[in-house]
Amino acid sequence: MKPLEDCLLYAFVDSAYLNGRNPESLCHQLCEGGADLVQLRAKDWNREDVMRVAKRLAPITANAGVRLVINDHPNIAGEVEAPTAHLGQEDFFDAGYRQVDEVKPAGLSLELGLSTHAPEQAQRACDAGADYLAIGPVFATPTKPGRPAVTLEYVQWAATNINLTWFAIGGINQDNLADVMAAGARRVCIVSAILQEMDVTGACRAFKERLLSSAY
């Protein structure tokens, strides 16, 4: 598994975009397409369902050398030996936490990423010891209803001010990817622009090729 800082494409198995598809098959397709991280995000599932699917995805990503990220449930990440977990502002700072070690399972070297929507949140997440940041939503996106877009200005700010590994997220697609990269992003999270395609592997590969072409 490559170092986190060398990861470029962050993909998702998102329950909101399954549309009857098998999560394991989707995970295989994302790994085959070149995803460096695959997040299991299931806002509408109970903990037992997240655990059940996480257990099935963990060997798929491990065999592919891809990071499995468990959203909202650091303890589940620890139980299935996923290397990474992710929390939003509401589940971390708004819940009263101040340091990532407060939510990491004891005795495990779990990575924890935090969502940020403004410069002050990014600074606070860095101070909290986050392993990476999500910067966004750059554009309006149905995955974050009601969350205003932070625009490319936040991406430009992050490129200048954040030394920690970070990923631009939110409404990014093939049409606006060049603008996001021009603003300074070299790593991106892609949700609907991959999961809404019939050829998930091909869509994933197309994003990865463009990211690789600008990385060297």
pLDDT in tens, 118-128: 999 999 999 99
For 9-39, the DSSP string reads: EEEEEEGGG-TT--HHHHHHHHHHTT-SEEE
The mean pLDDT of 33-42, rounded to a whole number, is 98
Q: Under 8 Å CB-to-CB from 105, ≥6 apart: which residues? A: 74, 75, 77, 78
Question: Residue 120 is encoded by which pair of tokens?
Answer: 């002050």
Residue 113 has phi, psi (to 5 degrees) of -100, 150
Q: Which domain holds residue 124?
A: 4-215
For residue 172, what is the domain's CATH number? 3.20.20.70
CA distance 3 to 118: 26
Residue 167 has phi, psi (to 5 degrees) of -125, 130
Contact assessment for residue 147 and residue 177, using Cβ atoms and an 8 Å cutoff: no
Contact assessment for residue 85 and residue 74, using Cβ atoms and an 8 Å cutoff: yes
pLDDT in tens, 137-180: 999 876 666 667 788 999 999 999 999 999 999 999 999 999 99
User: Domain count of the chain?
Assistant: 1
